[in-house]
A and B are shown apart, each in its own frame.
Chain A
C-alpha cells in the first residue's frame, strides 16, 4: 500500500466537496475491491474518502419498490425479511456474493460504483430496471452501466440509494468461475412492471448487458422452453483460461433457461 490521506466526512456535501477538489481521491465503501487493490499497489489514490459516516445504510420497502441504501452490506440485504418477501431473488443474489467476510463488508453502492464485469449486483439492477440515486440525480439502470468498470457517475458523484421495482417473478442463477468464484456467467431474469428483462453479467466484454433475444422470446412465452433456439453470439464474450467465448455463449443459454425455471 502506498501512503494516502484519509477522510471520513459526516455529510454528503462534504464528501462531494472532497471528491470535487481532488481528482486523485478514491471513495471507500465496503472496501472489498479497493483495499486489495491498494494492498497490491495497483492504485495510488491521494485521499481515501470513507463513506461510512454518511448514514447511507438501510432498507425500505414500499408497496411496489425495495430501496436499499448505498452503504447497506450484502449480508444485510441477504438477511432482510422484507427483501426476501418482496424480491427473494435479490436477497438470494446478495447472499451468494463472495464469502461471509465479503458479504459483511461489501456494499451495494460499492459494487455498482465499481461495476466489475463479473459482479452480481449489476445483473439485478439492470434486469429489474432499478433506479440509482446519487447526491446529484437519479439514473436509470439502462443509462448507468457504460462498460467494464465504467458507469455514468461523474467524478464527484456518490451513490446514495438504489430503488428496485418489485417484479412479478425473478431469479438469478450464477455459474461461478471455478477459481475466483465470481460470476463467469450470471443471469438475472425478471418479469414485472418493467416488462421482461434478462441481464447477463460475467460473460460480456463490456460488462453487464441485456440479452435482448432472450427477452423477446420470453416476452412471448415466459418459460424455459421458449428459449429453445435462442442463442447468443460469442463475438462479444470474454475469453480466459477458464472459459472461451464460445463456452461462455453456451453457458449464457443454459443459465438463462435455469434462471427462468427457477423464477417459476
Chain B
C-alpha cells in the first residue's frame, strides 16, 4: 500500500491537535518553578491622574509578602521601547514619550500599572495589593482622537504637544489635487474603524527565574516572537546580554497580534526574579486583559474618490486620525502608516493616491497590530468608499470594481503608494465568488425575505493585503528598527528523521503540521519523521516570530533555503559514495541518484554517512547534516480575493443575521487546504465580529465601558454560519514556494463585505454608510428615524 500523500497540497490533520484537545498542551501558566513567588499588579482605575502618594507600608507588612515595587524601585531600568520610528511630513521624527514599566508620576489610562506586589501565594499578593494606599489627583483626559486634538484638551504627554505623535503622509498630493479638479464627481465618505479588544483565549502570562550560580535569566512568556522579546527587553529595558537571557514561548493559546509586543509585565517579573533570586509569576486576570492587552484599529477618516463620467477612479485622497492610546506599543506607529497607507490602492489601478495620517495620544490602552493590522482599516475604507461611489453615481458595485481592477497583464504592478504587487488576478476571484454566492439569484432571495418581513442585502468586497513581512532594507528605510527576515535550522538526524528549528511561532496556526509538510515535499522524509520546534531562544538560532501572515512566506522560505543546503551537501556525499561527479547527482523523492544509472542512495543513508564518516570526503566537507538559513524576502506577498456577504435584517428589532458568506481568496500555493480553510473561517469570524458585534467602548473621560464579556460582544457559534470558502490562486513570484499567506485575509476582506450588505439592505431607508459594529440598537435607530421622518 502506498503511504498517504502528506506533502504540499495535502489536507493533513493537525498533529498538534491531539495535545490541545486532550488537555496536554503546555501553556505558560502550566509551568511552575521551585520556590516560585506570585505577582499581582495594582493598576490605575483612573484614565489620567497625577500620582500624589503611594504608601506601601501596609502591603509590605502583609502576610506572605516578599516585595512591593513601584516606579521608584525601577529607576535603573529603561522604558518599553518602540520598534518603529515614523517621520512626520516635515521630516521630524515622531514624538516618542517614555513608556515606563510602572507608571512614573502620572497614570495615563485605566489599567496603567502602578505597583507590583510579590508574595508567596497569589492570594496573599492579591490581599496585599488591596492594602496599597494610592492617592491620585485626576487630570483632564480624553478617549477619542477627535477630542484629543481639540484645543485645550488634556495633554497625555508633556513632550507630545497637542497630543500628536506624528503627522505623516504618503503619495503625490499635487497629482491628486489635479485629478480632483478635473473629475466629473468627487465622492466623500466619513467613516470610523471601530476599536477592538483582541481577546486571545489564553490570557497573558509571564514567569521569570534567575540562576545566581550562572547569572542566567529565563523568561517563560505568552509571546508570538520570543527572540524579539529577548532583544527588546534585554537590550533596551533591563540591559541583559542575549547569552544570559533565555525567552521561552511554549504553547500559546491565540495571539491575533496582541502577543507580539513587549509588555511591562515581562520586564517586571524578569527584573524582580533577579532582584529576589526567586522565580516570579504573573498571570493576567481576564479583566486585566481587557485593560492591558494592546487594542486594535480605532481610526477616524475622511476618504474621497474622484471619478470621471465613465466611473473610472481618477484619484483617492484619505485623511486619517489614528488612536495610539496612551503610550507607543512595539509596532504601533507602523500600523496606520506602512501597513495602511501603502494598501490604499487596493485592487484598483487608481493612478493617484494621497494619504495623510495623524497619530494621536489618548488616555486609553495602547493600540497596536491586531489581526490584519492596518490592512483591515485600508480595505474597509476603500471598499466602503467604492460602494459610496455607487450610491452617489448609480454605478453597479460589481461592474465598477471590475472596470477599475488592475488588469491581469499589468503585474508586476507599481501602485502610487510605494508597493509593487508581484501577482494577482482579481477578476477570477470576483467571478468565482459571485458564482459561488449565486449573486445572480439575489433579487429572488430578497423578494422572498421581503415576503416574510425581512430586509435582505448583499455586499461585495475585493481586497488586497501585503503580508510575508518583510524585506529588511525596505522596512528599515520606512522606520523599522529591526530586520524582518526569518531563520530555519534543519537538522537531519543520523537515521534520516528531521527536526526543524524555526524562528516563527505557532499559537494556533498549525505550523507543526504545515511546516512538516514542506519537509516531506522537499526532502521526501515521511511526515511522521519530522518534528517542528519553535518558541525557545535556547533552541532556535534566531527568529523574528509570527505576525503579518509571514510564517510560511518568510519562515517557510528560510526552511527551503536550509533544505537546499542539505540537498547540496547530500549530493557531495552521494557523489563520493557512488563514485560519480556531483554534477551527475539528482535529488528527488528523498533519494540521490546518479543520472542515467540505477545507482541510488536514500537521504537516510546519506545522513548516516554524514554522522559516521568512515568513507567520507572529509577533506572537502564537514561531517553532519545540519543546515541553517536566514531568508530575507525580496518583497511583500500580496494575497487578495473577493468576499460576498448576504444579510437579513429584522426591521422590528434591528437584528442583522448573516445568511450567506462566500470567500474566494488568492493565497498563492496552498500547503494544507484544511488549515487554510480554518484560517479563513477564523478570520471571517473575527471580521464579522468587528462588523456586527465587538466594540471597545470608552466613555468621554476614558473609562472602559466594555471591560468584560458582560458588555464586550465576542462572536459566538450561533452568530455565525457555514462559510463557503475557496481559493483561486496565482503564485507569488519571488519566494521559492510561491506562497502568499492566509492568516489575516479573513479579517481584511470580510468587514466591508458585511457592512456593504447591511447598507444595501437598508437602502430604502436612505442609508449611505454605517459605522461598525452594525448593532441592533444602531440599526433600529436608523430604521426608527426613517419611520419617524416618514410619519
A178 surroundings in chain B (CB, below 8 A): 693, 713, 775-776
The number of residues on chain B lying at the interface, defined by a beta carbon within 8 Å of a beta carbon of chain A, is 23
* CB-based contact B653/A179 at 8 Å: no
* CB-based contact B697/A179 at 8 Å: no
* CB-based contact A242/B775 at 8 Å: yes
* CB-based contact B711/A41 at 8 Å: no
Q: How far is the CA of A175 from the CA of B784 in the complex (A)?
A: 18
A240 surroundings in chain B (CB, below 8 A): 711
- Looking across the interface, which residue of chain B has its beta carbon closest to that of A3? B123
Partner-binding segment picked from B108-116, B225-233, B522-530, B702-710: B702-710
In B767-791, which residues have CB < 8 Å from any A CB? Answer: 775-777, 780-781, 784
Q: How far is the CA of A180 from the CA of B123 in the complex (A)?
A: 28
* CB-based contact A180/B711 at 8 Å: yes
* CB-based contact A241/B697 at 8 Å: yes
The number of residues on chain A lying at the interface, defined by a beta carbon within 8 Å of a beta carbon of chain B, is 16
Contact with B along A19-34 (1 / 0, CB 8 A): 0000000000000000
B714 surroundings in chain A (CB, below 8 A): 179
Query: What's the least CB distance linking A68 to chain B, in Å?
Result: 27
Contact with A along B189-211 (1 / 0, CB 8 A): 00000000000000000000000
Contact with A along B631-664 (1 / 0, CB 8 A): 0000000000000000000001110000000000
Q: How far is the CA of A179 from the CA of B776 in the complex (A)?
A: 12
* CB-based contact A250/B780 at 8 Å: yes
A59 at the interface (CB under 8 A from B): no
B712 at the interface (CB under 8 A from A): yes
* CB-based contact B697/A247 at 8 Å: no
* CB-based contact A179/B712 at 8 Å: yes
* CB-based contact B784/A250 at 8 Å: yes
Interface of chain A, main secondary structure:
loop
- Looking across the interface, which residue of chain A has its beta carbon closest to that of B784? A250
- Looking across the interface, which residue of chain B has its beta carbon closest to that of A179? B713
Contact with A along B700-735 (1 / 0, CB 8 A): 000001100111111000000000000000000000
Q: How far is the CA of A254 from the CA of B654 in the complex (A)?
A: 11
In B71-126, which residues have CB < 8 Å from any A CB? Answer: 123, 126
Q: How far is the CA of A247 from the CA of B706 in the complex (A)?
A: 19
- Looking across the interface, which residue of chain B has its beta carbon closest to that of A254? B652
**Do A41 and B126 form a contact, CB below 8 Å, given A179-B709, A180-B711?**
yes
* CB-based contact A247/B711 at 8 Å: no
Contact with B along A231-260 (1 / 0, CB 8 A): 000000000111110010011001000000
A243 surroundings in chain B (CB, below 8 A): 776-777
Q: How far is the CA of A241 from the CA of B713 in the complex (A)?
A: 11
Q: How far is the CA of A243 from the CA of B777 in the complex (A)?
A: 6
- Looking across the interface, which residue of chain A has its beta carbon closest to that of B287? A40
Query: What's the least CB distance linking B119 to chain A, in Å?
Result: 15
A40 surroundings in chain B (CB, below 8 A): 287
* CB-based contact B780/A247 at 8 Å: yes
Pick from A40, A175, A178, A242 the residue with the most CB of B within 10 Å.
Answer: A178
Query: What's the least CB distance linking A184 to chain B, in Å?
Result: 9
Query: What's the least CB distance linking B772 to chain A, in Å?
Result: 14
**Do A247 and B126 form a contact, CB below 8 Å, given A179-B710, A242-B711?**
no
User: Residues of B at under 8 Å CB distance from A?
Assistant: 123, 126, 287, 652-654, 693, 695, 697, 705-706, 709-714, 775-777, 780-781, 784
User: Residues of A at under 8 Å CB distance from B?
Assistant: 1, 40-41, 175, 178-180, 240-244, 247, 250-251, 254
Given contacts A179-B711, A179-B712, A240-B711, 14 further A-B contacts (CB under 8 A): A40-B287, A41-B126, A175-B653, A178-B775, A179-B714, A180-B711, A241-B705, A241-B706, A242-B775, A242-B777, A243-B776, A247-B654, A247-B781, A250-B780
